[in-house]
Amino acid sequence: AQKVTQAQTEISVVEKEDVTLDCVYETRDTTYYLFWYKQPPSGELVFLIRRNSFDEQNEISGRYSWNFQKSTSSFNFTITASQVVDSAVYFCALRSRTGANNLFFGTGTRLTVIP
C-alpha cells in the first residue's frame, strides 16, 4: 500500500525565516517517484519537483531545496528566506512504478508567511 504523511497541518513563519515541510512516505515498491506540488490561493496545483527512488541527490532550486532520504522514507522540502508569495498549501505525493498512474497525496501543509 502507498501512503504519504504530512504531519504538519499548518505552519506560520515570519518573512525571511527558513521553513522545512516534512513528508514521510510508505511503499513496498523498490522503484517509485516522489513529487511536491504547491497550491496557491488561486487553487491550481503547481508542480515543483519530482524524484525517483534511485536518485537520492538533494536538489536546490533558488530558495527551494529538497532532502530525499530513503533510510528514513522522507522527502522534506525547505524554503530559505521565505517570502509572502510562498504562502500556499504544499502537497507531497508518491507514485509507484507499477500499477496505476495515479498519485497518492499527503493531506498537505498550509504555510503562511507573515510580512
Partner 1 sequence: DVKVTQSSRYLVKRTGEKVFLECVQDMDHENMFWYRQDPGLGLRLIYFSYDVKMKEKGDIPEGYSVSREKKERFSLILESASTNQTSMYLCASSLAGEGSYNEQFFGPGTRLTVL
Binding site for partner 1 (CB under 8 A): 4, 6, 9, 31, 33, 35, 37, 42-47, 50, 52, 91, 93, 97-98, 100-103, 105-108
Our CB check for partner 1 shows the closer of 76 and 90 to be: 90
Our CB check for partner 1 shows the closer of 80 and 110 to be: 110
What is the distance between the alpha carbons of residues 69 and 24, in angstroms, rounded to a whole number?
10
In the complex, least distance from residue 75 CB atom to partner 1, rounded to whole angstroms: 15
- CB of 37 closer than 8 Å to CB of 94: no
Give the residue from 20, 16, 18 showing the smallest Cα distance to 7: 20
In the complex, least distance from residue 108 CB atom to partner 1, rounded to whole angstroms: 6
Give the residue from 10, 57, 55, 11 showing the smallest Cα distance to 33: 55
In the complex, least distance from residue 105 CB atom to partner 1, rounded to whole angstroms: 4
- Classified as helix, coil or strand, 17 is coil
